[in-house]
Amino acid sequence: MTARDLSRAHIESFLEMMSAERGAAVNTLQSYERDLLDAHAFLSRRGVSMSRAASADITAYLAGLAAEGFKASSQARRLSALRQFFKFLYAEGLREDDPTGIVDSPKKGRALPKIMSVDEVTRLLSLAEQEAAQPGPEQLARARMLALLELLYATGMRVSELVSLPARVQETDERFLMIRGKGNKERMVPLSRSAIAALKAYAGLKTAANLPAENPWLFPAASKQGFLPRQVFARDLKDLAIRAGLTPSKISPHVMRHAFASHLLQNGADLRVVQELLGHSDISTTQIYTHVLDERLRELVETHHPLAKQAKTRD
């Protein structure tokens, strides 16, 4: 039996073990088979069998995948299949080592957060303001939505912090708000004039509606916690986005928080200040927004710079 045939036989034995001993699903077995046969084909072109492949061969295979444009997640999946396969060969006494043992997993790039443009935020707030001004049985709910949005965009609060604000907040005339965040840590955030105005309008409608005074929450609701569930706010926000002509799948309370941070940095705010406002314990968490701005600047140049346009024309 040739080395090529032997390698294929080893792969078949491995798949039989995964099916019989570990009960792997058909889709899983098919995925393992595709990945291992692909690695087998690569190594064969290098004149190396699977049973004799060294760490350098595995690294070369991963580098080849990267050069072909495979994402880090896809490379990591192929490496995982190889790790399982070589552990099997070692356990069966078919190899004396595992060449994947010292191979580092491909580093996955950190996903950039979704953000909204200033225009999109403005459209949402403008529509919420228009609807809150319309009298009728739903005016209190619409005023609540405006207050939620104004507070969220003014402060960048986490949605859990926003919906659980205490009722005493509606009585403030101060330009700053104390928020209790993760780890019971407190931080101070500034309020915009429009946020304060929306709060007062909402408070006035609550008073007129004669809601139970004993409820301690700013946004009371008939829920287990006693305040507005964040899922309800997220649903209502998507409905508002649809009415504003925006793509609802791209809009959420968390995306509004991202918009708050990225718009501040876009207008020259210090990264440390944004870190404090967001309540991040580690500045590396906040730095992701600088990557968002870098990406947007790159897209802006590629879209509008004359030389970039000329290059696209030549292509």
Residues with a catalytic annotation lie at 158, 182, 254, 257, 280, 289
- Angle at which helix 55-67 crosses helix 26-45, to 10 degrees, equals 100
String of DSSP letters for 217-253:
BSSB-SSSSSB--HHHHHHHHHHHHHHTT--GGG--H
**293 CB contacts (<8 Å, ≥6 apart)?**
262, 265, 266
b/e sequence 134-162, b meaning 16+ C-beta within 10 Å: eeeeebbebbbbbbbbbbbbbbbbbbebb
The Cα 153–Cα 139 span in angstroms is: 21
Helices (H), the chain: 3-20, 26-45, 55-67, 72-91, 118-132, 139-155, 159-163, 193-208, 230-243, 253-266, 271-278, 283-286, 288-304, 306-314
Cβ–Cβ contacts within 10 Å for residue 97, how many? 12
Gyration radius (Cα) of the chain, Å: 28
The Cα 127–Cα 111 span in angstroms is: 31
- Closest by CA position to 147, among listed 217, 81, 219, 98: 219
The pair of structure tokens assigned to 207 is: 């008073």
Residue type, 109: G
